[in-house]
Structure 1
């Protein structure tokens, strides 16, 4: 069995200041998960820590994305470690931070071969700076990974696009606004917002994705898990709360068939903010469920 490797990416550069914090607390997520037992439960053979960059609200006028240069630098450092561990055939558990860590993950995947992405998130993250008032990369990470955005971000090391849209499933959005959804609906990404996901069937969606992985003879696939895809009652410790969301049983129904396959090379976890879960009650339940899911992997 492949060894578990944890890669800590505690960056918050992709988020803007909020009404509850001058600096988003997601940078403390990896150590928070360690404190509440995740590392003990999954017993990683190696833990990498990519140092947290200094948080700013700097708006890069060229890309119209906050902290663009720092995000690019961070993505390159992250990609180097992921590339190394992909060569070692490790199972990757990449811990954010915010969703901008997808850029580094996707860059590494492109450098190593041809990979798919199962993007599980309460938002599409498929936006352009002009359509996103915060100018935060965490709201446009999927678009960047698919080559949509400024060349500085979408073509790092001349590798863009990092992902083929046809090999990406975006699942779980529940911001049902036509203008918000239009960019991803007009893309070649396979898109299932939460309401359509339930109508079509969770098993059908995962089966369709795995069929594409097989038919296209991909080298593998990666899972992005933003915890705000979960129901707000069981995971309110996120920066952008919304009604509804997946239950843990639904999350297991989606993730277990994916993680059990040899083609799954890892998962990244983002957005859970320790500042919004002071007792750890929501974190502990999340860890218990994720540990059960990861333990099923092939």
Structure 2
């Protein structure tokens, strides 16, 4: 390990970044150095710009991934190398937020009734019933399911913030069936390797298989089930602040985007056109045919 990498990892730990973020940042910086065959302390703004364009134009990476690479390099230069040029020279890309993909209740029901093993059903039911992020569910231990208080303990959510979410009685039944079948010892969802939790890639493979099995074109992932959880809560009258706390969002603005996909909220909001006393013509303009 180079001195620069060690120093950057120490800086990240001193600022209480998660181990996952530390691995991601150091991997990005290693790729940056490998691309130019030089140490990053010998590189500057034009090299950063060229590398980000390489990720965009040649590797065709998503904007979210490119933004993550920019954040890693920004931390390296501004925090570890104490250089101040980064924000002036490397413009932050404009964030274009998309509306979240939401499955209907009927689609979720078809998913959870689909033919699959007990472990996968328990995991997908957990994502939908509690709105967990992908890794939050995989990091759960058996002891995090508190059946006495009917809560699920998220020990380390995004940003290392702990929280609690509701434990659905129906989910508890599903988890108990799963527990009697697999009897997990430490991790609630054990991976292939002893002592390790299930990997996120394995969950994505399961989701793609089930989506094709159901013949549904909408994307399916743990985050889609999380979106569906939030949207369906909003449809049933749960307030945004409560949904924010359950999802572990820092800002209410992030949670408010579910208003755009909530059927109940949209249908409950009348259009101003409905209040205008206009006449509805029964014939097409310029012709005699009825509409």
Specify the TM-score bucket, using the shorter chain as the normaliser.
Answer: under 0.3
Structure number with bigger Rg: 2
Q: Which has the higher contact order (CA 8 A, sep 6+)?
A: 1
Using structure 1 for the length normalisation, give the TM-score: 0.24
Which structure has greater strand proportion? 1
Which structure has greater helix proportion? 2
